[in-house]
Amino acid sequence: MNAIPDADRRFSDQWLMLRESADHLARDSQLTHAADRWLSARATPTRPLVTQRTIVDLGCGSGSNLRYLAPRLHGTQHWRLIDHDASLLARARLRCEGLRSADARPVHLETCEMDLDTAIRRGLEGTDLVTASALFDLLSPGWVEALASRCQAQGCAALFALSIDGEIHFHDTTGTAVENDDDRFAFAALAAHQRRDKGQGPALGSQAPNHLRQSFYRHGYRVREATTPWRLGPESLPLAEALLAGWHRALHEQVPEQRERVDRWHGARLDAVMRGRLTLTVGHRDLFAIPGGASA
């Protein structure tokens, strides 16, 4: 199960399924409602009869974002699912066939095996809303800038969920944050690992929310954001365990000379989480952006 992507940015379906309920619980419902309202008001004097909304899901994986959003949005929906992993796309289609909108309209699916660079050039035609979840830490500032520019040209809105913001904390049973030197060392090395080049130059890592906000703002968008952390307690132990295992592997890659310190930190924190002595909070942000003028 890869909680941390391969060098070529691939993830296991097992990991994506394991995180899905925590993702859906964390997401900000107000921003989803705002996207729904914006789409409902999208019919314009030049397109009065257009009732179907075209929604593009970038880096869709096995369809978690679609499963969250489609039943919360009104009207007939055409979803274009974009990912470079054909096996995840096949699973997305299998698991999302038959979904209905909030008002029981059809949800049509189109799957595109495509790299995200190509998606910016050729994947956004006719889009009303571009969306993504748990994606942007992998990408570069230049790619986000190109996306904002393409969205502006298209005049579509953007809803991006669950971009990591680097706010990782352990809490004890009284809710007090707990952090020692080994945590600070591990989180700093993890942040450096997240910024490693993943094919487009240095990746955004936990700077993704800031870059998204600034890029869309620069392109004339009105932007709203919400913090959407995972709060992993006793009911989320398999997810916490898999996440800590992913971090363990990443830390071995990032600071191989500190193997003993990494193993000690991982062993101690995993033990405390599994025994219910600590909970783990992992920060994310959601963002909703609409093109110039209108209010988000």
Positions touching ligand SAM (CB under 6 A) are 9-11, 16, 59-61, 64-65, 83-85, 88, 115-116, 133-135, 138
Which one, 134 or 147, has the nearer CB to ligand SAM? 134
Least distance from ligand SAM to the Cβ atom of residue 88, Å: 5
Which one, 60 or 278, has the nearer CB to ligand SAM? 60
Q: Would you give the distance in Å from CA 214 to the centre of its chain?
A: 18
What's the CA gap between 137 and 183, in Å, rounded?
21
Which one, 61 or 205, has the nearer CB to ligand SAM? 61
Least distance from ligand SAM to the Cβ atom of residue 267, Å: 26
Least distance from ligand SAM to the Cβ atom of residue 17, Å: 9
Which one, 50 or 191, has the nearer CB to ligand SAM? 191
C-alpha torsion sign, points 287, 199, 281, 133: positive
The Cα angle at residue 157 between residues 156 and 163, in degrees rounded to 5: 130
In a 13 Å sphere around the CA of 54, the CA atoms on its Cβ side amount to 12
What's the CA gap between 52 and 40, in Å, rounded?
10
What's the CA gap between 250 and 262, in Å, rounded?
10
Least distance from ligand SAM to the Cβ atom of residue 62, Å: 6
Which one, 10 or 42, has the nearer CB to ligand SAM? 10
Least distance from ligand SAM to the Cβ atom of residue 295, Å: 28
Nearest CA to 111 out of 88, 131, 132, 134 is that of 88
